[in-house]
Amino acid sequence: MSTSDDRLTFGVLGTAGIARKAVVPAIAASDHAVGAVASRDGERARRFAEEHAIPRSHGSYEALLEDAGIDAVYVPLPNGLHAEWTTRAADAGLHVLCEKPLAVDAAEARAVTDHCADRGVTLMEGFMYRYHPRTERVLELVAEELADVRTVTSTFRFPLYDRPNDVRLDPELAGGSLMDVGCYPVSLARTVLGEPDRAYAHTHDTRDAGVDTELAGVLEYEDGRSARIASGFDTQLIQRYRIDATNGWVAVERAFDAPTDERTELTYEIDGRRGVETFDPVDQYRLQVGHFADCVAGDASPLTDGGEAVANMRVIDALSESADGSGSVAIE
């Protein structure tokens, strides 16, 4: 560990777009810092470090894990590599903030979570939307004002055009719309309704890539409640959810990847009272980094910890199994 106070120095495993556009700037704007970045291409790592004023760059992920100047790693690698490098970081005694999804399935997520616990390091899955004040307010309305929530409907789609070699289209790297963006509607539905009992899904592969590029699913609860989720790479950007209860509803647009430089809103109608609540611009990635650092300092479990990752993957596994032709699938 490089510091004795609560200030974390991060190493970044990879130069993915999400690191460049969102998380590295968020760390730089926080009370913490990025001390090193790694890529399998040393020149790429060097350019990334220069672009973001990062002191050190490494031409391999192994070299970064041996860097004595870092306390934690951020893992924005392709999905299929998350488990391996989270585990290896834990073996190096480093805390881990890993992009979602943590692993390729629930069994692997459980193994990674147990491994990090055995090594005594903090593990957090990067579902940044959970840390936005608007999400916190939605959950407050659900808990305190909505009576008997019956359905959640949630969608996250965006256009992935003219990028045939994108890692999100690679089955060997656990690509597909469900894993990339469908995991957000699944997370939201579970957060509001709890753990579902069964799942049903229909998918289509419009690119003949070997992964789903469109998904529509239903999560079923024994008491009759339900959630409808959708994800895809084949339409213009749409990210929204609506929560319906016996006495009203709450709806959110631009729901997951909220802008950092614009106000955001939620709308509702509860007990005949219709309203709009507005939230000042915030960087939810910076809030996520702050929560992670606080948990490291306090030896606390993050809101989106390994157990949460395992539970989300159980639902994703069931949706995937259903889409392969199994009909309605029980969630184990």
Supply the pLDDT for residue 306. 98
3-class secondary-structure state, position 174: coil
Q: Could you tell me the sign of the dihedral formed by the alpha carbons of 324, 125, 12, 72, in that order?
A: negative
pLDDT of residue 6: 82
Q: How far apart are CA 294 and CA 309, in angstroms?
A: 19
Residue 203 sits at φ, ψ, to 5 deg, of -130, 165
Mean pLDDT per 10-residue segment, the chain (332 residues): 71 97 98 98 98 98 98 98 98 98 98 98 98 98 98 97 90 98 98 98 97 98 98 97 98 97 98 98 98 98 98 98 96 92
Position 65 scores a pLDDT of: 98
Do the Cβ atoms of 122 and 95 come closer than 8 Å?
yes
- C-alpha to C-alpha distance for 240 and 252, rounded to whole angstroms: 6
For residue 5, what pLDDT is reported? 67
What pLDDT score was predicted for residue 162?
Answer: 79
pLDDT one-digit tens code per residue, 141-175: 999 999 999 999 999 999 998 788 899 999 999 99
Backbone angles phi and psi of 233, in degrees to 5:
-115, 10
Reading the block at residue 311, the tokens are: 């539970």
Give Cα 54 distance to the centre of its chain: 24
CB 292 within 8 A of CB 6: no
Q: Domains of the chain by range and CATH?
A: 9-126 (3.40.50.720), 129-285+314-330 (3.30.360.10)
Q: What is the pLDDT of residue 67?
A: 98
Place of tokens 């650092």: 293
DSSP for 175-211?
-SHIIIIIHHHHHHHHHHH---SEEEEEEE-TT-SSS
Catalytic residue among 88, 95, 100, 110: 100
Active site residue 100: yes
Task: For residues 88 and 26, give the distance between their C-alpha atoms in angstroms, rounded to a whole number.
Answer: 24
* CB neighbour list of residue 64: distance below 8 Å, 6 or more residues apart: 11, 12, 13, 36, 37, 38, 58, 70, 73
pLDDT digits (tens, 9 = 90+) for 96-110: 999 999 999 999 999
Quote the CA–CA distance of 33 and 28 in Å, as a whole number. 5
* DSSP assigned state of 7: -
Question: How far is 99 from 90, CA to CA, in rounded Å?
Answer: 15
Q: Between helices 306-321 and 106-119, what is the axis angle to 10°? A: 170
Q: Tokens in use for 84?
A: 């391996």
The answer to whether the peptide bond before residue 101 is cis (omega within 30 degrees of 0) is yes
